[in-house]
Every structure is written in structure tokens, then in C-alpha cells.
């Protein structure tokens, strides 16, 4: 059994669940008609099924390697990347001013998810480039845009993001990389960065690094950080790659998963760089790229979950172990196996819908300038990232369990999904940080954005009572419990909120995901059984999760470190 990209599920969600028609109804995205969207999803699915999915295991078995200072990529990755670039997929949502298609983020998110399911290790390369494109579009000078954007959009060059240092991970403000003015408008960048995804390769003609560094007069902390474009090869007068810049790959990390994706330790020794945005404005520019990446990473989690689930279902249908209910062949006839697969499918749909809803909010904010859409997009981003990646880990783990002992054997391929998915819950801000962002900054408006979403869920549930009363009533009550828990969190101090942030985020995701399932069932009665799995089996977790979210932090700090050590 091979991976099949879920283009039809994306089409259904866009048309019937997250109101993509509103995006297509704007002047900016008027070309994103239903026919155009369907054609894009169909073509992307063909690329995933025929070209990219066959590379997934090869990347795992034959990792990227560093030879004489050059990263050599996994077999077939160069051809796969060129197929992505030749199809215009890197610039799907990029501005037409520099060669992009200018299509909605919702379509880009759907495509990125499918490509992730096909081969996550390779998908990371265009994803980082897409984030760099958006950062340059918003913050770079016209000269930098003209030089870099066409080559990044075409895939001729690729982009990276350089934040983390050995002593500065999530605490970006502790970074030490320096930027010294050279007197000609350029800067000498010196320092070391770690965990740089696709920091080098033998696939593209140039690798363009966005690097966070401090100017000599910089204030301490994040307020003193600037952002610089530092290419591997310095462009010549004609914009072509010229002499080598003063940077190198020191080593590649040996990782649990995504072996085909080179994760580099980068050393910059007076490398020439160009300021992106204003001095000391680096975090604003970098967050443009990171917010893009956070939604993209959430979609990565969903993509891996989809691939792992497809493999688990195929195995469960073929594997025979004992008599099953009603003579259904394969272990898929056993109630507990059916439970695992059904709950996994329900969460994949929920996480996919949340990611697409976030993308639609981004599109509507960009197309209309309406602050309410922008606030909604910001609120949904940490939920999409954390719930999407948690779903990736959860479903991949379930896939191993469905395989039983064979899931623990590498040759079956089930374990690779679990190993690959695990990083997604860590990078672009760990899921704990996403949850703290949700209960901190995202509730700083007094909960207005949260209450607006909760109100919409309650309105949907109330309207659905005539057709699906059991599901509608359960959802309405869950939304009301979420409202009460949100009010309780708002009355707590920040550290007490942080102690309950992770269960609160999952509870919010379960409520939103259940609402999207209910909308799907109203649009297509054939989807009601899956909605019932989500609302009757998974949604009840929300009560326990919200009870945990309200406990505060005192009991956690009552345990001294030595007690935690055992």
C-alpha cells in the first residue's frame, strides 16, 4: 500500500466547513475559484503520490551526509525537489510581483500538508523557503526583494532561518551572534547557529540564510536583535552566485527522525550580510517567518498523521489474528483496533480543519485588512500548530500499536512516521510555548477572540439541534464549559495560567474540531458516523482537561526538584 494524498478531504473541508468561498469572494483572491482549487489539489496529489512518496523511506535509510564541507542529499531528493520547484509549488502563495502565483494560504496549507505526508524530510526545504519569501516580502528593501525573491520563488535558490544558538534556544534574546558594520551598507556576521534545517545541500545553486544577530549598539534581550540576509555564495553584479561567503557547515546533527533533512550547525566568520528591516527590528521580521512556519508545521503533523493512518488501516485490513466481529476479515474487525483507527481518523479530520480554518483567517485578514480576521488568525495559530503536531505524534504512535510487534520493526515503515513526527511538536516553538502563548498573549484582549469563537460554536450547535440533537447538545455543553474555564483562567495570574495551558489548548482544539465535524455531518450525512466518534468518544476529554487547566501552579511548585528526581 502506498500513500494517497487526501485531496478530496481538503476540497470538502474548504467548500463545506471553513468557508473558503469567502476567500474566493474577495478581490485579492478572485481567481481561486472552486475549479481552480480542485485542479490545484488534484495536481499536487499526483506529485505527492507519484514522485514524492516513493522517496520517503529512501531518505530515512540513506540520510543526508557532510562530505568535504558540502551536504550530500538523500537519493532522489534532488529530483523530487526539482519537481516541486518546476510545478511552481514553492511560490503558490507568493506575490506575483516576483513570480509567485498569489493564491490563498489555505490552498498553500493544503498542498504543504499533502507534501508532508508524502515525504516530510524533503518538504521542509520548500517550507523554510516559503517562510523566507514572506519575511522578505514584508520587511526587505526593494533591492533585496528584486535580487532574492525571484530565485527563491522559482526554487533556484533556497532559504533558511537561523535563530537558535547553543546557549539560546527558546530564549532568543540570549543570542550572541554579532553584526559589525563594514561601512558600505553591509555587515560582518560572526557567530554559531545550531539546528538549521536544510542549512546546506547539493540541490540548489545557492542557500540564503536569514540570521539573527546584534549590532554593536544593541540593547540586551530581544529588543536589540536585527535580521540579516547572509547568502552562502555572494551574488555577483548580474545577480548570479559568485564567491563563497565566510560561512560553513560545521557538522550535521544525528537525529531521531527526518534523516533525509540535513540539520546543520552553521558557523559564520565575518560573513557578509545585508540588513532586513530596520536596525533592532529583527524579531518583528523573524516572527513573520515563524508564524508562517508554525501553521506549516501544524500541517506537517497532520500530513504525517494521514500517512501513518493510511498504513495502519492497510495493515489492519490484511493482518488476520483470531475471529472478529461479524466475520470482518483482518484485525480491523476487532473492536479495539476499530476504535484506534476511528479515533485517529476523527482527530486527523479535526486537526486538518483547524489548520485550514487558520489559513482562511490569514487569507481574509490579508484580503480585507479587517483586524478581526487578523486577530482570529493569530488566535488559531498556536492551536493549529500544537494540536496538528500532537495529532501527528498521537496517530503515528497509534499506527505502531495497530501494527503490534511488527510496528516495532523498522522494515514495516510504521516506526518512521513516529520518529519523523516527533520533532514537529518541538520546533517553531515547543507545544508548551504555543499553549502559553494562547493563554497569555492571545487572552490579553480579555478573552474577546476566544469568546467570539466559543459563541460561534454555540450558535452552530443550537442550529443543529433539529437535525443532530445528540451531537449538537453535547457540543453546546462542551462550549459552555470551555467558556467558563476561559473566564476562570482570566482571573488567574499568568504563571497559574501557564500551569494549565497545555490541557486548555487541547480542550479548545477538541471543541473546535468537534464543531467542524458537526458542520461536515450537516453538509454530508455520510460523515455523521465520524462526527459521532469525535463528539461522543473524544470530546468528553474536554471536561477533565479543563479541570486540570484551572488548578494553578501551587501544587507543582510544592514538589521540590529532588522529589521530581525520585
Give catalytic residue positions.
Answer: 428
What are 190's strand-pairing partners? 178, 269
- How many angstroms separate the CA atoms of 503 and 541, rounded? 10
Residue 199: which of 129, 150, 143, 130 has the closest Cα?
Answer: 129
- Cα gap 98→220, rounded to integer Å: 36
How far apart (Å, rounded) are the C-alpha atoms in residues 80 and 122?
8
Q: For residue 463, how many other CB atoms are within 10 A of its CB? A: 12
Sign of the torsion angle spanned by Cα atoms 399, 403, 404, 409: negative
CA dihedral of residues 255, 258, 261, 264 (deg, nearest 10): -20
Q: Which residues pair with 264 in a beta bridge?
A: 196, 252
Q: Inter-axis angle of helices 7-16 and 34-47, to 10 degrees?
A: 160
Run of H or E residues at 194? strand 187-197
DSSP 336-368: HHHHHHHHHHHHHHHHHHHHHHHHHHHHHHHHH
C-alpha closest to that of 447 among 497, 515, 518, 514: 497
- In sequence order, which residues have a C-beta less than 8 Å from that of residue 413 and are 6 or more positions away? 57, 311
Q: Which residues pair with 244 in a beta bridge?
A: 233
Output the 3-class SS for 92-121. Answer: CCCCHHHCCCCCCHHHHHHHHHHHHHHHHH
Q: CA end-to-end span of the chain, whole Å?
A: 46
Contact 426, 256 (CB under 8 A): no
**Cβ contact 314:341 at 8 Å:** no
Question: Cα(358)–Cα(356) distance, rounded to whole angstroms?
Answer: 5
Amino acid at each position: 500500500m502506498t500513500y494517497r494524498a487526501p485531496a478530496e478531504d481538503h476540497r470538502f473541508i474548504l467548500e463545506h466547513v471553513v468557508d473558503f468561498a469567502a476567500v474566493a469572494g474577495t478581490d485579492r483572491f478572485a481567481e481561486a475559484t472552486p475549479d481552480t482549487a480542485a485542479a490545484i489539489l488534484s495536481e499536487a496529489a499526483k506529485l505527492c503520490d507519484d514522485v514524492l512518496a516513493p522517496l520517503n523511506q529512501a531518505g530515512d535509510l540513506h540520510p543526508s551526509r557532510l562530505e568535504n564541507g558540502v551536504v550530500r542529499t538523500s537519493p532522489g531528493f534532488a529530483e523530487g525537489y526539482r519537481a516541486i520547484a518546476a510545478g511552481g509549488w514553492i511560490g503558490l502563495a507568493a506575490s506575483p510581483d516576483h513570480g509567485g502565483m498569489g493564491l490563498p494560504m489555505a490552498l498553500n496549507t493544503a498542498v504543504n500538508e499533502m507534501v508532508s505526508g508524502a515525504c516530510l524530510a524533503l518538504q521542509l526545504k520548500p517550507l523554510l523557503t516559503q517562510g523566507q519569501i514572506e519575511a522578505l516580502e514584508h520587511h526587505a528593501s526593494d533591492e533585496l526583494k528584486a535580487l532574492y525573491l525571484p530565485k527563491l520563488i522559482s526554487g533556484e535558490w533556497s532559504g533558511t532561518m537561523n535563530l537558535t544558538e547553543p546557549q539560546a534556544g527558546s530564549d532568543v534574546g540570549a543570542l550572541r551572534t554579532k553584526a559589525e558594520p563594514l561601512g558600505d551598507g553591509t555587515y560582518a556576521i560572526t557567530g554559531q547557529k545550531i539546528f538549521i534545517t536544510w542549512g546546506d545541500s547539493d540541490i540548489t545553486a545557492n542557500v540564503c540564510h536569514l540570521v539573527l544577530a546584534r549590532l554593536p549598539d544593541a540593547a540586551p534581550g530581544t529588543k536589540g536583535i536585527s535580521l540579516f540576509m547572509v547568502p552562502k555564495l555572494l551574488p555577483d553584479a548580474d545577480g548570479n552566485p559568485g564567491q563563497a561567503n565566510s560561512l560553513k557547515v560545521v557538522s550535521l546533527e544525528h537525529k531521531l527522525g527526518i534523516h533525509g533533512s540535513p540539520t546543520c550547525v552553521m558557523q559564520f566568520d565575518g560573513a557578509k550580510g545585508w540588513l532586513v528591516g530596520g536596525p533592532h527590528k529583527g524579531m518583528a521580521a523573524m516572527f513573520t517567518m515563524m508564524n508562517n512556519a508554525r501553521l506549516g508545521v501544524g500541517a506537517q503533523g497532520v500530513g504525517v498523521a494521514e500517512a501513518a493512518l493510511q498504513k495502519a488501516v492497510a495493515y489492519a485490513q490484511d493482518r488476520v489474528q483470531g475471529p472478529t466481529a461479524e466475520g470482518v476479515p483482518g484485525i480491523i474487525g476487532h473492536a479495539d483496533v476499530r476504535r484506534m483507527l476511528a479515533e485517529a481518523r476523527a482527530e486527523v479530520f479535526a486537526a486538518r480543519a483547524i489548520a485550514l480554518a487558520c489559513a482562511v483567517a490569514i487569507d481574509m485578514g490579508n484580503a480585507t485588512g479587517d483586524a478581526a480576521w487578523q486577530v482570529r488568525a493569530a488566535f488559531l495559530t498556536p492551536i493549529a500548530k500544537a494540536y496538528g503536531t500532537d495529532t501527528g505524534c498521537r496517530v503515528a504512535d497509534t499506527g505502531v500499536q495497530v501494527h503490534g510487534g511488527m510496528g516495532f520493526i523498522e522494515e514495516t515503515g510504521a516506526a518512521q512516521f513516529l520518529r519523523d513526527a516527533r520533532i514537529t511538536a518541538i520546533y517553531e516553538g515547543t507545544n508548551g510555548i504555543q499553549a502559553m502563548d494562547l493563554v497569555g498573549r492571545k487572552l490579553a484582549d480579555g478573552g474577546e477572540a476566544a469568546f467570539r469563537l466559543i459563541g460561534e460554536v454555540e450558535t452552530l450547535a443550537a442550529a443543529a439541534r433539529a437535525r443532530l440533537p445528540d451531537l449538537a447538545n453535547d457540543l453546546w455543553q462542551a462550549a459552555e464549559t470551555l467558556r467558563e474555564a476561559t473566564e476562570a483562567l482570566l482571573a488567574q495570574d499568568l504563571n497559574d495560567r501557564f500551569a494549565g495551558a497545555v490541557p486548555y489548548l487541547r480542550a479548545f482544539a477538541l471543541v473546535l474540531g468537534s464543531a467542524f465535524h458537526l458542520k461536515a455531518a450537516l453538509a454530508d450525512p455520510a460523515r455523521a458516523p465520524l462526527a459521532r466518534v469525535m463528539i461522543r468518544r473524544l470530546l468528553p476529554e474536554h471536561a477533565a482537561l479543563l479541570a486540570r487547566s484551572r488548578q494553578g501552579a501551587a501544587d507543582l511548585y510544592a514538589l521540590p526538584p529532588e522529589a521530581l528526581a525520585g
